[in-house]
Amino acid sequence: MTTTTTTTTATTTTTTTAKTKPHFWKWAIASIIFRLILIYFPKNLNLATRPEVSTPVTSLRRLAEGYWLTQSSMSPYAGSMYHGSPLLLSVLGPLTMKKIEGQPYHLLCSLVSVIADFISAMLIRATGLKLRMAYCERLKLLGLGKLFEVSEILPSEDIAALVYLWNPFTIVTCVGFNTAPVENLFIILSLYGASTRVAPLAAFGWVIASHLSLYPTILIIPVILLLGNGPDATPKKLLLMYKKDEGGSSSKGRVVNGLTEQKSFSWRPVGLFFVWVFIWTLYTLFMCGIFMRNYGGLSEMFSRTYGFILTVEDLSPNIGVLWYFFAEVFEFFRDFFLIVFHLNILFMILPLAIRLNHRPCFLAFVYMAICSMLKPYPSVGDSALYLALLALFFNELAEMQFSFFLFCGYVGVSLLSPVMHNLWIWRGTGNANFYFATGMAYACFQIILVVESVSAMLNHDRKIRKLVAANIS
Amino acid sequence: METMSEGEPPKPKPRPIVRLGLFLISHSFIVSVACCAAGIFALLLLPVLAKNTYISENALMPGSASPMLSNDDVSRARMFVNKVVSFDFKTDSSSIGIQELVAQHITDLGGEVNFHKFLPQANKFNPLHFFSGPDQGIVQENYTCSSYGINTVGFIRAPRGDGKEAIVLVTPYNSVKTSTGEALSLGIAYSIFSLLTRVTWLAKDVIWLAADSQHGEYAAVAAWLREYHTPSFDGSGKSLFESNASPRTGRKRHNDFLRAGTMAAALVIKVTDGTEKAERDVLNLYAEASNGQMPNLDLINVVNYLAVNGQRLRVKVEKLGSLLDAWWLRSLAELFHKLGTLARSLNPQWNFGISVAEYIEGTATLACSLYNQALGVPTGPHGVFRDYQVDAITMEISSKRLANYKNRPNELLLQGGRLVEGVILSVNNLLEKFHQSFFLYLLTSPNKFVSVGVYMIPFALLVAPLPMVAASLFADSTQRNSGTENKVTSSSDIPAITFESWRWLHAAKTVFIVHFWGAVVTLLPHFLSLVLDSLPLINLVIWIVLSAFTLLVLQVVLGSSVSLPRMKQTQGMEWTLLKSVTIAAACTGLCIMSVINFATAELGALMLVPMCLMARPLRIDAKAKTLKSFIRVACNLVLIFLFFPPVTYYLWKGALVGLDNARVGDFWNWVESLWTWNSATYIYMCMVHLPCWVLCVHTLAYPC
């Protein structure tokens, strides 16, 4: 089945090129069928045991164990097996036990993953449509309608949805029996809610996503920006510049209207969002509290889920870089470095938010990519998410550099990583450094991806500004 | 290197490393020729660079104790051998005759005995085998099979041990018709066993596996090891052990499968009839396990040290015989010899000279080592142990005294027994698993090796041009294209959004389709073998026809349904992009293969690198009509013809054994042997080499 990984890797490339509507549905359905076929042979693939696919936090096998513990009236967190949310346990837990006659064991859970993936793709598509509309509208407002005549604007929402559906990382995650598809679904849901300015939905997605995997908490900034400013667009300065010029000569009503509409940060949806966040948080905590009342209460839940993530307790190998570091570091310095690594994420939040405040969705992509780099338990499911978000900006990133190099890097690392793992664990001829090297290479490629995409995006904005300036003069 | 290619247009002063990269890329032709030549030269230089082996693990201390194996043990073993040889297989109707004899002797010595009944299992193709543990694919099927094999396993519990570790002795013998050599190997193991039941120093349990090789040595050992490591709890295996009650005496033995902790090392002992005229007996060592894995070098060192210094045996490892009298190798050896003497005359401390005979022997051994590792098929029953991370080696004592052993049998038994005793004594001293010495090495003689740090150099030199040329081609096509784009867009005032940096997607799609096809080709023989069972020739033809057919279908289905926008006008230059992506794919494939099985990657690189680098559309060269282009066309055609896998196979075969009785179907047999042994070489051939070959053909035939 090495073949499937390689094949699907390249499928993304082919599918990104599919663009017309009938093609979209054809490929989307094909991807679902492909997943269903793969689900049927879980034993042969044995993906659930791969460290790249399921982490201690997302593994469904651990969830099944936790559910079994609760069935025998013990705390699901006993024995340090399960570290997820109690809500997931009560929703997905019964599915892990139920068995349809004559079917593979975890068919139901895998079906949930497939459905989650499909809904995510549809939400990405809807979000993408919104973003593309906003992009085109803004260009027209800036008097750059001519741009559409010389160049083709690709339907980036279809591309992004297909990238999400056909990305081998997503497929492997979906088939690999873990909860990452569900977590990704809630992250995308909150972005969708924010981009359509439905505050309750955005709040719901954000609260649940943060509750499930903690790191989406930082998405609150892009979500607020989305609710306040509307979808991604060129910097507002440009519009003002254009408006001044237009205002000097003859005022075009439509432009001015558009301007007044988008000029100020609208506080109403943001306020609503906070109210709903409050409501949903209370509700979630209440539900968790009911679940945990016999097992040590909410404090136990926090220490076993968030505490487990933040203190990097489990040092079993994964594709991240923290496990190796904390296995090597002296116990004495452990707390210090824990703080350093977690602050690392927080330090980047503010500068990026300032620089990219006009592009909240892109900001969300950057945040997710950085999280997947610095997470203690990353999996390929995280990259599946941010690669799909990246594909939403296919038009803006048309002139991104190093795309071929990055592609080769991702393919190479994802093939080399299982080989190195095998060399270390099964053959015994390699050692931990072999595997860690691929983890480092992976982190490096992620860094290059983030740096290049951000600079391509800024260059694109610069280009638009130049065009506007040329238009005015 | 590729990062450089896509760098921004040259700024006034780029950083030195960028300048170096740009320099290399702009001179990629000369650099790649130099690198390839250096790579081949470095490969030929490896026997000169080989180092003497040394025992790395201090605890081993080989030869520190004098052997305790006495004539008493040996004479007992001799009686045992006589019994085995004179065992009448005809009169004994029960299926468990000779096993019972062995078991009886082990019990008399005071060891525990256990029979292991197994069914011969056909090797099955499992393409994922490499990524999963060895316990995958345990299928117990076909219970109606009449002929069981029965292994006899004896245990000595260590008086000083905790039962957590064990040393394994394996003596394969055919229980239906035991030859003298097999009987003698049983005798050697028996003599050791009789000694070890009495000694007090044993810290690890000793297991003697008398493997029933009527269905093949490998299958017997593999079945036992599988049972040892993955006990079956589902009851399906239960019926296999019913026969543990001795059929003759009715005495009940242990009904369970006995175990003795993790294995520290395993020795496979064999005795064969030596035909050579050598004075001394010869000890042949076989170490290659599946996919080119080797046991720890320390194990080979210990055996070699004890055999040479203790028992005065001549130790040999396999050689490629046809290389020994090759004229070109001799002249090369003389050249190196002259260079060495010249260097020494200049400075006496430059001591890298090597005698002609030594170089030739070294090269022949190295070639055989590379070849065996590249095939990925284990050279003996020791190969199974490596799958469970146990270091194992086959010691084949080849004696010309075997024919008339009845006159002086004790000598052989004593010699073999003391050697094995010494090895067990050393391994017994180990505190941890073998880990001090190398796992990745090539042997150039029993006491000389090339370690991974040295043998990676030729490979690295061979592969280095690939990313460079890919980058240079990529940069070339991008530059050329942006030049044309600028001319087009300069007329209109608004620069269009061009998907300039994504143009490679088109080429990547083609490369992907061909690699996907490679995966299909890999799996085809598996399905073919399920469906039909016919002659190799017919199978081969069907395989080739089906492969060609699928390639066509894939090209039509996937190739047409998706297309990138804004790609049509640059059709002319597409081949550089295509070649660039092909080379990138080849480079990735080779690098991954070098981690899985280095020898395959090395041999693969020798073929793939020149082929990929040379490829260029024939029409361009045909239009040029210069001498250079003519030579290039000729080279391309020759390379493409030579490196089509079947052609390569027959050429290899011709070079090694001669093409006198070669048949067309042999290629199928060879491929089948590769995939039944789950060799990664097969996957490499179908998923890296073949697709790259097809892509090169595609590049050659590119319409310009």
B493 pLDDT band, cuts 50/70/90, is: low
Task: Report the distance separating Cα B285 and Cα B282, nearest Å.
Answer: 10
CA–CA gap between residue B324 and residue B333 (Å, rounded): 11
The alpha carbon of residue B27 is apart from the nearest alpha carbon of chain A, in Å, by 20
For residue B490, give how far its alpha carbon lies from the nearest alpha carbon of chain A (Å): 12
| DSSP structure string for A244-303 | HHHHHS---HHHHHHHHHHHSPPHHHHHHHHHHHHHHHHHHHHHHHHHHTTTTHHHHHHH
Indicate whether B407 pLDDT > 80.
no
Number of H helices, E strands in chain B: 24, 11
B632: in domain: yes
Mean pLDDT of B458-484: 85
Predicted confidence (pLDDT) at residue A18 exceeds the cutoff of 90: no
Are residues B324 and B435 located together in one domain of the fold? no
Could you tell me the residue range of the domain that residue B346 belongs to? Answer: 319-373
What's the ipTM?
Answer: 0.85
Q: What is the mean pLDDT of chain B?
A: 81
Residues of A in contact with B492 (CB under 8 A): 150
What is the reported pLDDT for A362?
94
* Three-state SS letters, B360-426: HHHHHHHHHHHHHHHHCCCCCCHHHHHHCCCEEEEEEEEEHHHCCCCCCHHHHHHHHHHHHHHHHHH
Is the CB of B508 less than 8 angstroms away from the CB of A152? no
pLDDT for B522 beyond 70: yes
| B391 shares a domain with B519 | no
Q: How far is B41 from chain A (nearest CA, A)?
A: 28
Residue with tokens 């030269």: B41
Summarised one tens digit per residue, pLDDT across range B324-335 is 888 888 898 999
pLDDT of res. B423: 92
Mark whether B275 and B222 lie in a shared domain: yes
pLDDT for B12: 62
| Residue B325 shares a structural domain with residue B367 | yes
Q: Using the beta-carbon criterion (under 8 Å), do B494 and A467 form an inter-chain contact?
A: yes
Cβ pair A17:B8 closer than 8 A:
no
The stretch A343-348 carries a mean pLDDT of 89
The per-residue pLDDT for range A373-407, each reduced to its tens digit, is 989 999 999 999 999 999 999 888 888 888 899 99
What single letter denotes the amino acid at residue B516? F
Whether residue B83 lies inside any domain: the answer is yes
Query: Are residues B268 and B300 located together in one domain of the fold?
Result: yes
- Rounded to whole angstroms, how far apart are CA atoms A203 and A280? 7
Upper half-sphere CA count for residue A410 (Cβ side, 13 Å): 23
Q: Which residues of chain A lie closer than 8 angstroms to B127, CB-CB?
A: 1-3
pLDDT over 80 (residue B558): no
Return the sign of the alpha-carbon dihedral for residues B312, B318, B322, B324.
Answer: negative
- What gap in Å lies between CA B391 and CA A349, rounded to an integer? 52
The answer to whether B284 and B273 are in contact (CB under 8 A) is no
Instruction: Write out chain B residues lying below 8 Å of A428, CB-based.
Output: 389, 433, 439
Which chain A residues touch B516 with a CB distance below 8 Å?
Answer: 3, 6-7, 10
B304 with B336, same domain: the answer is: no
* Nearest CB to A405 within list B3, B511, B515: B3
The b/e string for A86-118 (b: 16+ C-beta within 10 A; e otherwise) is: bebbbebbebbeeeeeeeebbbbbbebbbebbb
Closest CB from A10, A46, A403 relative to B501: A403
Chain B residue at shortest CA distance from A22: B561
Say if residue B403 is in the same domain as residue B367: no
pLDDT reading at A370 higher than 70:
yes
Q: Residue A2 and residue B128: Cβ atoms within 8 Å? A: yes
Check residue A166 and give its pLDDT. Answer: 92
What average pLDDT is seen over chain A? 85
Sheet containing B448-451: give its strands across: B51-52, B448-451, B441-445
Region B519-524 average pLDDT: 87
**Do B262 and B327 lie in a common domain?**
no
What pLDDT is stored for residue A326 in this prediction? Answer: 92
- What chain B residue is nearest to A425 in terms of C-alpha separation? B133
B139: pLDDT strictly greater than 50: no
Query: Pick from A11, A144, A419: which is nearest to B595 by CB?
Result: A419
> Do A10 and B2 make contact, defined as CB atoms within 8 angstroms?
no
Answer for the pair B289, B679: CB distance below 8 angstroms, yes or no: no
How does DSSP classify residue B58? G
Check whether residue B263 and residue B338 sit in a common domain: no
The confidence band for A138, taking pLDDT boundaries of 50, 70 and 90, is confident
- Whether B481 is in a domain gets the answer no
Residue B413 falls inside a structural domain: yes
- Please indicate if any CB of chain A lies within 8 Å of the CB of B9: no
* pLDDT score of B565: 47
Query: Does the pLDDT value for residue A287 go beyond 70?
Result: yes
Confidence (pLDDT) at B1: 40
- Residues of chain A with Cβ-Cβ distance to B512 below 8 Å are 7, 9-11, 13-14
What is the average pLDDT across B48-56? 88
Q: For residue B505, what pLDDT is reported?
A: 85
The residue among B323, B312, B483 whose CA lies nearest residue B399 is: B312
Where are the alpha helices (H) located in B562-615, listed in sequence order? 574-596, 598-614
Instruction: List the single residue in B with minimal CA-CA distance to A404.
Output: B504
Q: Is B432 inside any structural domain?
A: yes
Is the predicted pLDDT of residue B492 greater than 50, yes or no? no
Interface of B with A in 427-466 (CB under 8 A): 433, 439-440
Structure-token pair, residue B577: 């992009």
Nearest CB to A418: which of B131, B386, B563? B131
What is the band of B601 on the pLDDT scale with cuts at 50, 70, 90? very high
Nearest-angstrom CA–CA distance, B463 and B454: 15
pLDDT at B2: 41
Give a yes or no: residue B627 inside a domain.
Answer: yes
Helices B28-49 and B452-463: angle between axes, nearest 10 degrees:
160
CA distance A12 to chain B (A): 9
Around Cβ A128, how many Cβ atoms within 10 Å? 26
Residues B609 and B664 in one domain: yes
pLDDT value of residue B136: 42
**Contact between chains at B561 and A23 (C-beta distance less than 8 A):** yes
Q: What per-residue confidence (pLDDT) applies to A8?
A: 40
A416 vs chain B: nearest CA distance in angstroms?
6
Average pLDDT rounded to a whole number, residues B361-377: 91
Does one domain contain both B617 and B685? Answer: yes
Nearest to A405 among B2, B130, B136 (CB): B2
Interface test with A, best of B389, B497, B592, B597 (most A CBs within 10 A): B497
Domain count for chain B: 3
Beta-carbon contacts of residue B627 (< 8 Å; ≥ 6 apart): none
Chain A interface mutation, best of B136, B505, B520, highest count of A Cβ atoms under 10 Å: B505
Contact B78, B410 (CB under 8 A): yes
pLDDT of B197 above 80: yes
pLDDT band per the 50, 70, 90 thresholds, residue B142: very low
CB-based contact A44 B8, cutoff 8 Å: no
B467 located within any domain: no
Nearest CA in chain B to A469: B494
> What pLDDT does B560 receive?
60
CB nearest to A13's CB, from B293, B512, B563:
B512
Of B128, B433, B595, the CB nearest to A420: B595
Q: How far is CA A348 from CA A223, A363, B546, in A?
A: 17, 11, 55
DSSP percent split of chain A into helix, strand, coil, nearest 5: 75, 0, 25
Of B130, B433, B581, nearest to A422 by CB-CB distance is B130
Q: In this predicted model, which residue has the larger pLDDT, B278 or A444? A: A444
How far apart CA B78 and CA B433 sit, in angstroms, is 34
Name the residue among B449, B292, B261 with its Cα closest to residue B386: B292
pLDDT at B180 over 90: no
Give the pLDDT score at B126.
61
B638-647 pLDDT per residue, tens: 999 999 988 9
Largest CA distance in chain B: 103
Using CA coordinates, name the residue in chain A closest to B137: A44
Residue B148 has pLDDT above 80, yes or no: no
Could you say which of B352, B373, B394 is where a domain stops?
B373
Nearest chain B alpha carbon to A18:
B562
Q: Are B304 and B315 in contact (CB under 8 A)?
A: yes
Q: Is the pLDDT of residue B421 over 80?
A: yes
Evaluate if residue B224 carries a pLDDT over 50. Answer: yes
CA distance B689 to B256: 48
Q: What is the pLDDT of residue B143?
A: 44
The answer to whether B668 faces chain A, any CB pair under 8 Å, is: no
pLDDT one-digit tens code per residue, A306-323: 999 999 888 999 998 999
Evaluate whether residue B4 is within a structural domain: no
Res B53 pLDDT > 50: yes
- Alpha helix (H) ranges present in B532-679? 536-561, 574-596, 598-614, 618-624, 627-642, 645-656, 666-676
CB A158 within 8 A of CB A191: no
pLDDT score recorded for residue A115: 94
**B3 chain-A contacts, CB cut-off 8 A:** 402, 405
Q: How far apart (Å, rounded) are the C-alpha atoms in residues B367 and B310?
A: 29
Q: Which pLDDT belongs to residue B161?
A: 77
pLDDT at A43: 62
Q: Residue B311's pLDDT is what?
A: 82
Distance from CA of A6 to the nearest CA of B (A): 8
Cα separation, B610 vs B606, in Å, equals 7
A74/chain B closest Cα distance in angstroms: 28
Question: Which of B464, B365, B439 is closest to B598 using CA atoms?
Answer: B439
Which CATH number characterizes residue B192's domain?
3.40.630.10
Indicate the range of A144-148, A191-195, B148-152, B357-361 predicted with least confidence: A144-148
CA-CA distance, B596 to B196, in Å (whole number)? 39
- DSSP symbols for B202-260: --SEEEEEE-BGGG-HHHHHHHHHHHHHS---SSTTGGGGGGGS-TTT------SPP--
Instruction: Say yes or no for a CB contact (<8 Å) between B512 and A14.
Output: yes
- Asked if the Cβ–Cβ distance from B293 to A427 is below 8 Å, we say yes
Check if B293 contacts A (Cβ < 8 Å). Answer: yes
Q: Which of A405, A422, A448, A472 to probe by mutation at the B interface, max B CB count within 10 Å?
A: A405
Is B510 in the same domain as B405? no
| Residue B580 tokens, joined | 């660039």
Question: Which of A6-10, A73-77, B262-266, B671-675 bottoms out in mean pLDDT, i.e. has the lowest?
Answer: A6-10
Contacts of A449 in chain B (CB under 8 A): none
- Residue B268 — pLDDT band, cuts 50, 70, 90? very high
